Structure formats: C-alpha cells, structure tokens
Amino acid sequence: MIISINGIRQFRRCARQWSYDTLIASAHVKPDSPRREVHLLSQVQSVAAWRGNLVDQIITRRVLPAIEKGWHVKPCNLLAYARTMFHDQLVFARQNRMREPGMTKEKAADSFAALASVEYGLGLSEDEVEQAWTDVEKALTNLLEMQELLALMQKADKLIAQRPLTFPHFQVNFRAVPDVIAFFTDEPPLIVDWKVHFKGTHDYRLQLAAYALALIRCNPHSDFPCSLSRWSPTDIRLIEAQLLTQQQREYKLSDDDIAEVDDYIADAAIEMMLAADGKSNGDIDPFDFPVTANPENCRWCPFRRICTEDVKCQKPVQMTFL
C-alpha cells in the first residue's frame, strides 16, 4: 500500500472517498469496468483545485527551467503562455473530453482538465472563469516579484520539480511529491512548496516535514547528488510560498518534529491497513468504508454520483477499527 500526507487527510476526512481514489480507481482495466469509471471521476476537480494545479504546471514547465539556465523570465511571455494553457484546458474541460473514448492524460497532454461543475452539470459561470484566470495571473506575477526566493533558487546547482519520493515505513510505502527540490554544492537541499490560496492561513509544517523525511530516506534518483547522504531531515531547508499573498513561511525542523511525522505516518498506516483488511484492490467494496459525517465534504467530492447510488451512504457511521 502506498500512502501520503494528502491521502491520510483524505482517509480521515472520508474513508470511502479514500477507498475510491486510492484502492479502487484504475486506468488499466477494460473501458466498461466500474473501476475505470472510478478512475475517470478521480480526475475531476473543483475550479479552485484546477487553477492551483495549472499554476504548478506553468512553474514547472517555464519558470524553473529558466531559473536553472540563468535566463530572465519576462512576465508578458510567461502570462501569454499561461493564458494559452488556461484556454486550452478550459475548452477541454467544458467539452468534458475526458469522456471521449480512448482519451488519456498522455494523449491530451497539457490540455487535460476535468471540472466537477461540468461533469455534474452544475454550470460554470463566466465570473468563475474570470476569477480563476485572475488568480493564475496574480500567482505567477507575484512569484516573479519574490526576488529573494528566486535568487535562492538561482544559486542551486540543480532544480528538480514534482519528483516522487518513496520510502518503506511500517509495512507501507510512503510517497511524497515536493513541488521543487533545490540541490546545492555545500549547503543542504531546499524544498519549496507552492500554495495558491486566498487566505493562506493553514500551517503546512507536517506536510513539509514529511517531504524532508522522504528526501533523506528514499532510494535516491540517479540525478540526485551523492552529497545528499551528508544531510539529515532536520538539515533540509523548507519554504512554503503563498503565491496569492507573496507570503513565505520557512520551517526549521527539530528531532521532535521528525518523530511526530514518523508516528503520524505509522498510526495512519495501521488504520488504513485495518480498513483494507488485506483485500486486493479489485475486491474492495467502497461501502465497507464509512462516509464522512460532514455533508460539506460531499459538495465537491468527485465520487458522489456513485456513492449516493446506495442509501447506506446516507447514514454516516463512525470508524472503529481497533
């Protein structure tokens, strides 16, 4: 079983949603398989999540390569590229092309997007679209104005974006995907996590601590420097960058922080393994998992169509595995 910080949060928010997303969804089954339908629904996002992912994509494809090469990023060029990608993904989502026979993320490439408001026929207003673009534009513009952070990344020998880091932990594999890892010659690595939130008040210490732990404990990728073995998780520099507010939070970890993350992952692993009950993914019944007790969590859940087909999900139950 592979788990992550986001997966743990999802599991504790709604175990049934987690079962759909993590255990049942599969792109490698017959097109008419129920598991294929669950996979399609797992691609569906809210407008807010979509525009956040779009910002991540643009930074990965345009900003970071330019920084690594020492090039100056012109705001007008970056925003023109962003506008094109925004338009292409919006058209793809509005036409719900995810549903086209044979369509895959690989085939759609940078145009792929799937929105809950389209999939569920809720309507997508022009105001929502305009606000989404305003947020994308603001996030990218703010990033280019965060000179101290850009200068720090420019000092790096190597910038690696969206690289999965996996290590075994308490009978499961823990997986983390930092937005950016910066490697230096004589300094510990830097991990930067982009956030695109209106308020940006949430503290992401736990998530970033897990990234640091994963970087040190994972089987190093071939392009990771040999010097990585010099460092411990508490050495890793961690920055949370709120792109809509230009706020930065830098976290310094202690040994207690690392112990807390270890315990957090181990506790969650026990709960998840007990919930799965040793069954293979193809044998999992989502209705064996309790649904959230908070109806607000159902509002943008991508699986609510298949979840609410059974009246059992209308009666939230408490999770008791121990």
**Domains of the chain, earliest start first:** 15-146 (no CATH), 153-272 (3.40.1350)
Residue 172: is its pLDDT beyond 90?
yes
CB count in 10 Å sphere of residue 246: 16
Distance CA 181, CA 164 (A): 11
Q: What is the mean pLDDT of residues 171-200?
A: 92
Sequence-ordered list of residues with C-beta below 8 angstroms from that of 206, at least 6 positions apart, any chain: 5, 260, 261, 264
Sequence-ordered list of residues with C-beta below 8 angstroms from that of 133, at least 6 positions apart, any chain: 51, 83, 86
Distance CA 40, CA 123 (A): 19
User: pLDDT tens digits for 23-71?
Assistant: 999 998 998 899 999 999 999 999 999 999 999 999 999 999 999 999 9
Q: What is the mean pLDDT of residues 285-306?
A: 91
| pLDDT: which is higher, 281 or 289 | 289
Q: What is the pLDDT of residue 318?
A: 42
Distance CA 299, CA 28 (A): 28
Mean pLDDT is lowest, of 125-129, 177-181, 229-233, 318-322, for 318-322
Distance CA 66, CA 73 (A): 7
pLDDT band at 309 (very low <50, low <70, confident <90, very high): low
Within 115-251, where are the H helices? 116-119, 126-145, 147-154, 205-217
| pLDDT: which is higher, 295 or 258 | 258
Q: What does pLDDT average to over the chain?
A: 92
Distance CA 49, CA 10 (A): 15
pLDDT band at 110 (very low <50, low <70, confident <90, very high): very high
Residue 314: is its pLDDT beyond 60?
no
pLDDT band at 310 (very low <50, low <70, confident <90, very high): low
Q: What is the mean pLDDT of residues 271-283?
A: 92
Q: What is the mean pLDDT of residues 271-293?
A: 93
Contact 132, 125 (CB under 8 A): no
Q: What is the pLDDT of residue 199?
A: 63
pLDDT band at 197 (very low <50, low <70, confident <90, very high): confident
Contact 85, 54 (CB under 8 A): yes
Q: What is the mean pLDDT of residues 89-111?
A: 95
pLDDT band at 319 (very low <50, low <70, confident <90, very high): very low
pLDDT band at 281 (very low <50, low <70, confident <90, very high): confident
Contact 135, 50 (CB under 8 A): no
Burial 282-310 (b: 16+ CB within 10 A, else e): eebebeebbbbeeeeebebbbbbebbeee
Distance CA 217, CA 259 (A): 14
Classify 166 as helix, strand or coil: strand
Distance CA 321, CA 225 (A): 43
Q: What is the pLDDT of residue 111?
A: 97
Q: What is the mean pLDDT of residues 304-322?
A: 57
Q: What is the mean pLDDT of residues 244-263?
A: 95
Structure tokens at 94: 């509005």
pLDDT band at 306 (very low <50, low <70, confident <90, very high): very high
Residue 152: is its pLDDT beyond 80?
yes
* Chain centre distance of CA 132: 18
pLDDT band at 262 (very low <50, low <70, confident <90, very high): very high
Within the chain, where are the H helices? 5-13, 15-18, 34-42, 47-58, 64-69, 75-94, 105-108, 116-119, 126-145, 147-154, 205-217, 255-276, 304-307
Q: What is the CA radius of gyration of the chain?
A: 21
